[in-house]
């Protein structure tokens, strides 16, 4: 489970909750059981955790799963998929309604509402998606051992005030498989965003590392020279133009925390109503009384970053077939988009 943390102050560096460690065994290494070998190479690791990782196929040798009694040899290439979220104190199951759009024996897809934090932290000890999931699984899957399914199947996250699709695993096998897909950037993720300004091009790609701001630790920022943070790539496409704001589709190639919000700010198009990254003020348009009132009304309709996780696709862990799920933006964002659409049509008719 996840260590108690402040959901805003101490966000993980990535939306994916796993990281990849890799190493090559020295040529002179004598044969040694892999669990014993990794015990001497991974700081703070326990033999039990390493053995569980091997059993759950989160440890690969030469790109293939192995058994705990496998003996490593010189030249072996070892890859470990390890959780970058520390274990937490007890999660309290809470009967919170969930919008489950799909469910089978391996996983389920949830449409997360605006305002719901994904996992508990010191600032949000309960009322989170994980609290709701814990209750749901204990009620509907009483045989489930939470110790065999860390974080109740959570493999990725989206921001508190971002709405949309998130996948949860129901078995360790599904969790391991999905974690690897997220880390290897093979998961299909598309977001709808309303951003400030107009674009010269119909589509483009933003490449800039994303990491914590060096002074303001609550914020993340773009590092185009790659001197800080982690690599991040966002592809965008214009869907509709509304004069002063634009509706875009963003496709994530990587999954860094606040990636779309940071990347859009970096290219001068902060997300509409995003208070963290400058989108909660008038960025484009001549400020006169009627326009100012219109924008303030828009802020009131959608008082959060206008971002929705609309598509989520991956290879099903059991069937090995591609699956794709879609979700329409919630009411606040849908009303916001329609309000800007009508305003743009009126301005264009005027002009």
Q: Can you give the pLDDT of all 351 residues of the chain as single tens digits?
A: 233 333 333 445 556 666 677 888 888 888 888 888 888 787 767 777 788 788 877 888 898 888 888 998 888 898 887 765 544 557 889 999 999 999 999 999 999 999 999 988 767 788 999 999 999 988 888 777 666 677 788 889 899 999 999 999 998 889 889 988 988 889 999 999 999 999 999 999 999 999 888 888 789 999 998 888 889 999 999 999 999 999 999 999 988 989 999 999 999 999 999 999 999 999 998 878 899 999 999 999 999 999 999 999 999 999 999 999 999 999 999 999 999 999 999 877 776
- DSSP-derived letter for residue 314 is E
Known catalytic residue at 159: yes
Q: Name the CATH code of domain 18-83 (choices 3.40.50.2300, 1.10.274.50, 3.40.50.10190, 3.10.290.10).
A: 3.10.290.10
Question: What is the C-alpha radius of gyration for the chain, rounded to an integer number of angstroms?
Answer: 22
The fold for domain 188-350 equals Pseudouridine synthase (3.30.2350)
> According to the model, what pLDDT value does residue 1 have?
27
> According to the model, what pLDDT value does residue 209 have?
96
Buried/exposed 118-146: b ≥16 CB within 10 Å, e otherwise: bbbbeebeeebbbbbbbbbbeeeeeebeb
Conformational region of residue 136, where left means phi above 0, alpha means psi within -120 to 50, and beta covers everything else: alpha
Cβ–Cβ < 8 Å for 232, 238: no
Q: How many CB atoms lie within 10 A of CB 346?
A: 10
Query: Is 186 exposed, middle or buried, given 0-12, 13-18 or 19+ CB atoms closer than 10 A?
Result: exposed
Q: Of 159, 177, 274, 332, which is the active-site residue?
A: 159
- CA 334, distance to chain mean position in Å, is 22
- DSSP-derived letter for residue 37 is H
Residue closest to 279 by CA, chosen among 289, 291, 267: 267
SS3 182: helix
> According to the model, what pLDDT value does residue 13 have?
52
Do 100-179 and 188-350 come out as alike in CATH topology?
Answer: yes
For the chain, the structural domain boundaries read 18-83, 100-179, 188-350
Buried/exposed 299-313: b ≥16 CB within 10 Å, e otherwise: bebbebbbbbbbbbb
Q: Is the pTM of this model over 0.85?
A: no
DSSP string computed for 240-273 = EEETTEEEEEEEESS-BTTHHHHHHHHTT-PBTT
- Which class is 100-179 in CATH? alpha beta
């Amino acid at each position: 489970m996840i260590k108690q943390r402040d959901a805003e102050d101490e966000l993980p560096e990535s939306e994916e909750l796993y990281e990849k460690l890799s190493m090559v065994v020295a040529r002179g290494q004598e044969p040694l059981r892999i669990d014993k070998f990794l015990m001497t190479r991974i700081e703070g690791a326990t033999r039990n955790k390493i053995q569980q990782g091997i059993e759950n196929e989160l440890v690969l040798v030469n790109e293939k799963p192995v058994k705990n009694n496998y003996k490593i040899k010189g030249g072996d290439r070892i890859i470990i998929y390890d959780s970058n979220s520390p274990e937490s104190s007890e999660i309290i199951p809470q009967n919170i309604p969930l919008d489950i759009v799909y469910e089978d024996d391996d996983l389920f897809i949830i449409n997360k509402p605006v305002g719901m934090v994904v996992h508990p932290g010191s600032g949000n000890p309960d009322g989170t998606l994980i609290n709701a999931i814990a209750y749901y699984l204990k009620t509907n899957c009483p045989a489930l051992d939470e110790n065999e399914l860390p974080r109740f199947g959570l493999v990725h996250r989206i921001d508190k005030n971002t709405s949309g699709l998130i996948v949860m695993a129901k078995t360790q096998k599904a969790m391991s498989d999905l974690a690897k897909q997220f880390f290897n950037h093979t998961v299909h993720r598309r977001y709808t965003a309303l951003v400030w300004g107009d674009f010269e091009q119909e589509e483009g790609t933003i490449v800039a590392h994303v990491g914590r701001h060096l002074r303001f630790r609550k914020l993340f920022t773009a590092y185009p020279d790659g001197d800080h943070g982690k690599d991040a790539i966002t592809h965008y496409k214009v869907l509709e133009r509304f004069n002063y704001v634009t509706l875009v589709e963003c496709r994530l190639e990587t999954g860094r925390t606040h990636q779309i919000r940071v990347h859009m700010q970096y290219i001068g198009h902060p997300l509409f109503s995003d208070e963290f990254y400058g989108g909660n003020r008038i960025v484009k348009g001549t400020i006169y009384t009627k326009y100012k009132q219109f924008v303030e009304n828009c802020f009131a309709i959608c008082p959060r970053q206008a971002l929705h996780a609309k598509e989520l696709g991956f290879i099903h862990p059991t069937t090995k077939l591609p699956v794709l799920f879609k979700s329409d933006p919630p009411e606040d964002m849908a009303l916001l988009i329609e309000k800007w659409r009508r305003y743009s049509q009126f301005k264009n008719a005027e002009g």
